Structure 1
Amino acid sequence: MSIRVSHTHGEHIAVAAADGTEILRYVYRPDPEAFESRKPYAHPVRTLAGRTVTGYRPNDHRWHKGLQLTASHLSGQNFWGGNSYVHGRGYLPLPERIGSMRHDGFPAFTVEDDRLAFTEELTWVENGGAEWAREARGLTVHSVDEEAGAWALDWSIRLTNIRTEPLVFGSPTTAGRELAGYTGLQWRGPRDFTGGTVFGPDIDGGAGADAGKLMGTQGAWLAFTTEHDEVDGHSTLVFAHAPENLDERTAIHESHWFVRSEPIPSVAFSWAFHEEFTLPPGETFGYRYRVVFADGAWDRDRVAAHLARLPW
């Protein structure tokens, strides 16, 4: 299935399916609110049927913006946005901790009939203006399959520490709050995903609060399905790790799922859920992720079969 790509320079990149449905908008224009941690994000994201499957600036967490790469606790700075967790004091508005990610350019940008692939260069900047890290980010839209009712987005990161000191990656859980290990690539769903059903290859999380059964667990993939408001239909999102992410010989740190269905729908590929990890000066780490956006309420067998047809 062919796609159409448009680029509004300095603003965003948009991808539309053959029928004109915009399925992805990647926004790299800096947000006006520094407290929300200025950084690129993907929103709106839609299924091929046009169902919106990302949330943007919900009233409970204004800094949640579609699909975005974050670091909630990084050497005392907050690249997630919003209130910062401080052990013994809870969440506090500490604007002096809020960092940002500066868009520096697109060194590679390729559009084919059914595939978009680009590389983005970014600099991670702490609140005082010091440059802490260089990132090479890759996004690829592919496998746009009208028959399956699904398409895939691959998101990769290679991050290099450009400080003279180590970068220490953590999360609210490593700072003392239980079951709040959010950091890394994060998805925020719209409100009709609240109470949705979550499951993995070997675990049935169930709907609503039962999704917490997968909190802090590990697995090759996780699926989140819901029934939409206003329209008669379901959507399923599948979050999948590249094989090397789960290999202790190649990953800088083991990954765990951060997942909630209630009170808010959110999933993160957490790279520092239970423990911190350190990136020495001059060193680089990388991860690759895949998200499949599908129409319909998929079950475990259908998810597994679809992922098997999408080699890395």
Structure 2
Amino acid sequence: MTLALTRTDAALSVTDGETELMRYVFVPDTPQLEAPKPYIDPIRTRAGRVVSLFRPWDHVWHKGIAWSLPVVGDENFWGGPTYLRDQGYVQQPNDGTQRHVGVVVAVVEHDVATFSHDLEWISERGQRMFTERRSLTARLLDDTAWALTFETSMTNATDGTIAIGSPTTRGRENAGYGGLFWRGPRSFTDGLLVTAQGTGTGSALRGQRHEWMGYEGRHDEVDAASLVVMVDAASNPHHPPQWFARSEEFAALNPAPFFSEEVRVPAGEAVSFRYAVGVADAGAADAARIADGLRPLL
């Protein structure tokens, strides 16, 4: 089967025959409160089963898979309220926008669908914080799995150093979310988190450092499980990352490079991150095999 890529002025889809594997919305119509940003949703397995959730009522700024940063200096590119030390979460006029500037590449070659575009990060007050070049690819791994890669290079467009952090770097214990964030379907709640060292549930693995982590969840209506695996590139800052991962209340995976330590980007300099994500009609026992197939892509 050969992948196909179709694109409009606001979104693109990658399909495998009649199955839409992913839809990347790069010009969202998101309210400012939710920090408008490109997102990938829906995400499907090769069998057509959805493994993402868009704008859940409990956290409306969660959108499938998105590159979301809650602490960018004093700005919030995550959405909603900002965590303030000794105050908790406070809604502020600081929900910024990741604005699409232009498409660089949109092509399928050698059975790999590639999309690259340029963005700029604009604070709610109108200040340009970063310029960004972002690239995504999709390719088939085998009859049961496909792979998404996500790569970003962000250049500080201000005249000062920008510190990228998390609620934990601002004082909230074990809440170091930020980065490439996946939100799973409601039916995936209470699923199984998987690492090379073992498995866990709830928040048991949160804050641990791993090269990769997976999530096995089950679908309503059909007697089937699916697996999502995320792999962190060895070149990423603070590799292997601490993970913001959970199965209680909702399903989430997030290799969080800013979990407990800021990444500081001087004026005019760039910081880069690369990730591979596997989506499979499989279970926890296949996670290591999927991770092995993703690692060479980085």
**1:14 is matched with which residue?**
13
Alignment of 1:161 onto 2:160: no
Instruction: Select 2:117's aligned residue among 106, 116, 120.
Output: 120
Taking the aligned partners of 1:201 and 1:252, their CA distance within structure 2 comes to 19
Instruction: Select 2:128's aligned residue among 126, 131, 135.
Output: 131
Taking the aligned partners of 1:82 and 1:104, their CA distance within structure 2 comes to 24
**1:256 is matched with which residue?**
242
Matched AA of 2:191: G
User: CA contact under 8 A between 1:114 and 1:144: conserved in structure 2?
Assistant: no
Alignment of 1:228 onto 2:225: no
Q: Which consecutive unaligned segments of at least 5 residues does structure 1 have?
A: 246-250
Alignment of 1:183 onto 2:178: yes
Matched AA of 2:134: R
Q: Which consecutive unaligned segments of at least 5 residues does structure 2 have?
A: none
**1:2 is matched with which residue?**
2
Task: Say if 1:278 and 1:171 are closer, same or farther in 2 by CA, change over 3 A.
Answer: same
Taking the aligned partners of 1:306 and 1:63, their CA distance within structure 2 comes to 29
Task: Say if 1:288 and 1:32 are closer, same or farther in 2 by CA, change over 3 A.
Answer: closer
Identity over aligned pairs, percent: 38
**2:254 is matched with which residue?**
268
Normalised to the residue count of structure 1, the TM-score between the two structures is 0.91
Taking the aligned partners of 2:240 and 2:288, their CA distance within structure 1 comes to 22
The Cα of 1:143 is off from its aligned counterpart by 2.4
Matched AA of 1:179: N
Normalised to the residue count of structure 2, the TM-score between the two structures is 0.95
Alignment of 1:197 onto 2:159: no
Alignment of 1:304 onto 2:288: yes
User: CA contact under 8 A between 1:38 and 1:101: conserved in structure 2?
Assistant: yes
The Cα of 1:144 is off from its aligned counterpart by 4.5
Query: Which consecutive segments of 4 or more residues in structure 1 shift more than 4 A?
Result: none
Task: Say if 1:135 and 1:163 are closer, same or farther in 2 by CA, change over 3 A.
Answer: same
Taking the aligned partners of 2:184 and 2:262, their CA distance within structure 1 comes to 27
Matched AA of 1:307: A
**CA RMSD after TM alignment:** 1.5
Matched AA of 2:12: I
